[in-house]
A and B are shown apart, each in its own frame.
Chain A
Amino acid sequence: MSLIYRIKKSQPGITHGINDYLGEMRPFVKRVKKPHLVIPLLFLKTIEWSIYRWYKTPIRRFYGVKGNELIYMITNACNDRCPKCGIWERPEPQSQHLMVSHFIKCLNRLHHNLYQVTLTGGEPLIFKKDVMLIAEEAKKLSVPMVIVTNGRFLDEAFLNRYKELGHILVISVDSIEEGKWNEFRGRKNFHIVMPKIMLAKQILGDNLRIQSVLAKESAEEIPKVIAFCKQHNIQHNIQFNQDFGGNWKNAMPDIVDYNNDTPCAARKNICIYPNGDVVKCFDHRRIPLAKEPLGNIAKQDIIEILCTKRSTEISKIMKTCNLPCKNMSCNKPQSLLFN
């Protein structure tokens, strides 16, 4: 049984193993009332613990007890018109937009399990008030939060409050050349957004990240974005191009190997669509059993939804579904994403 990702130095190592062992043994020894049996019973418990360690699943080894990421696509609507993405072409009608209270209830139900809540879109900051309500609630529940935004609606008041909450902001940047920027975003807003990125860096410091999509169209631009990030000491991540209904092409196979053997860890994910539909992955529908969503958080309790037989079966299928979306950021923990 191999780990999904290579263990880096920052990942739990021998100390974690020792703590796990002692955490099992200490309460067990207290149960033994006959002193002369402590050593043989401890030996047996050690054997059980070793078997348990051997069969511990990679996902649990890697993510620990807080094993889930809650990802909320708060809206399809977007103020940019990026050709890489077609989500903005299908904004949800107002009547179908989930009330924020339903999402907050869902967050409250799941927070013990969550290592992170992520807000994405569309452009999440179109619903800036809702985003801030969620950020406040996440802080209250001690769940780290990440927003992925195009940066257009950032302002000083929002950033200052966001900084106080200690969450992470990710801005999508695929080029730092004005011409390419405007082409990639379908809007001439280079001179509006770039100062906002600098403002975000000034206020958020290390909690600002930049993410770029690597496609055939952006391949020449990405090194410049990386250099920009290095210059301004901003952590950067590359996400491989995915089919979001846009017309960008995947980067050449010699640059990106889409068909690798990475198993999908996205079964740890709990994804919510703008209307409250629940899926385990936004590319769910490619799995025949998952064509329909698992449920809707406006109508059902999230725990009930996730414990259905169909949900558990889909989670198992996802491990080996081998779809290209397994290369996305949601298949990796934040600690391995940005550098």
Chain B
Amino acid sequence: MSALIIPCYIKSQWDIECLNRLLDSVQKQSQAFEKVFVVDDASPLRYSVTHSFVDLLVVPNNAGPASARNIGINKALSLGINHLLFTDHDCILDSRWNECMTYFLDQTNFAAVGGMTYSWGKTLLDYYHDINGTLAGKWLLPDKKELWYMPSLNFGMKAFAAEEFPFDERFPTAAGEDVDLCLRLRSKYKIGFCPEAKLWHDYGYKNSITGFRKFMELFKKYKSSSATVYEGHTVLMWDSSESIYKGNMHEPHLQD
């Protein structure tokens, strides 16, 4: 049994199109989700969700994606769901994503899992993200048998891990909260990597020139949050890691 949790903050028509595109891909899964929670984080734009399988949870005041995901986690845990999977509204799932993530969590001792993330667009900036592994998670070195961290857009946890390690709601934006969660989670459990669980992330670049500013803003947002994470975490933050990309996604003895 798995539930999909999607935090949403819809502020433009593009966001609505992204969400519908994601829900279309959710509908085409080879293995259906038991529950799909869209948690609306007090979006400024009104919209309706036409996909009947969605449970739309609307939060009255904006509190950030960490808080929105925790609302989904609590809901899923109260229903006795075994596996909690997370993605973002600007992603598109491969048709076997749920099947692969759930199978991985069922068959291994890892308490959490990350999948393989590719860029949706075709610009130079998208290509950069693909080989840089910007949102593809990081191997824990030197063994590359588990992950240092996995972004929350392609992430899953077993129920007991989600219950023990919810997202820290003091992170106000979609930056750093997933690193913080992985660091806390890794103090007790391991995060595995499932390269077969593929999804695509749409960075929203129309072309490389006009998208350049967005590219800068993205890294500024991510890197500014890293200071908050560094200040809080005393250990594990310093473990060596390497970002995942297509060229190193298959490692020998991955599931030992």
Contact = CB atoms under 8 A, between A and B. Distances in A.
A44 B215 contact: yes
B132 A306 contact: no
B75 to A, nearest CB: 21
A31 B247 contact: yes
Contacts of A1: 227
Nearest to A301: B187
Contacts of A48: 132, 219
Contact of A309 (B168, B186, B231, B247): B168
A234 interface: no
Contact of B236 (A44, A65, A66, A307): A307
A59 interface: yes
Nearest to A44: B128
Contacts of A55: 220, 223-224, 226-227
A51 B218 CA distance: 10
Contact of B239 (A31, A112, A280): A112
B131 interface: yes
Contacts of A301: 187
Interface size class of B (residues with CB under 8 A): 35 or more
Interface of A is mostly: helix
Given A44-B128, A45-B132, A315-B233, A65 B238 contact: yes
Contact of B231 (A37, A52, A57, A113): A57
Given A66-B238, A270-B234, A316-B232, A303 B223 contact: no
Contacts of B132: 28, 31, 45, 48
A47 B125 CA distance: 12
Interface in B164-213: 168, 170, 180, 183-184, 186-188
B187 to A, nearest CB: 3
B79 interface: no
Contact of B234 (A44, A112, A280, A319): A280
A267 B231 CA distance: 8
Contacts of B170: 313
Contacts, number: 107
Nearest to A60: B230
Given A66-B238, A110-B235, A304-B187, A51 B223 contact: yes
A27 B242 CA distance: 10
Interface string A39-50: 011001101100
A304 B232 contact: no
B149 interface: no
A299 B4 CA distance: 37
B222 to A, nearest CB: 9
Contacts of B230: 57, 59-60
B238 A113 contact: yes
Most chain B beta carbons < 10 A, residue from A37, A51, A301, A308? A51
B58 to A, nearest CB: 27
Given A48-B219, A55-B227, A59-B230, A306 B124 contact: no
B110 to A, nearest CB: 17
B128 A303 contact: no
Given A40-B124, A55-B220, A56-B227, 17 more contacts: A31-B247, A37-B124, A44-B125, A44-B128, A51-B219, A51-B223, A52-B223, A57-B231, A68-B234, A68-B235, A68-B238, A267-B231, A301-B187, A302-B235, A309-B168, A315-B231, A316-B231
For the complex of A and B, the 7 pairs showing the least CB-CB separation, nearest first, are A312-B232, A307-B187, A55-B223, A57-B230, A31-B131, A306-B234, A51-B219
Interface of A: 1, 27-28, 31-32, 37, 40-41, 44-45, 47-48, 51-52, 54-57, 59-60, 65-68, 110, 112-113, 267-268, 270, 280, 301-304, 306-309, 311-313, 315-316, 319
23 contacts: A28-B131, A31-B247, A32-B131, A37-B127, A41-B124, A41-B128, A47-B215, A51-B219, A54-B223, A56-B227, A57-B231, A59-B231, A60-B230, A113-B235, A268-B234, A306-B187, A306-B234, A307-B184, A307-B187, A307-B188, A307-B235, A312-B233, A319-B231
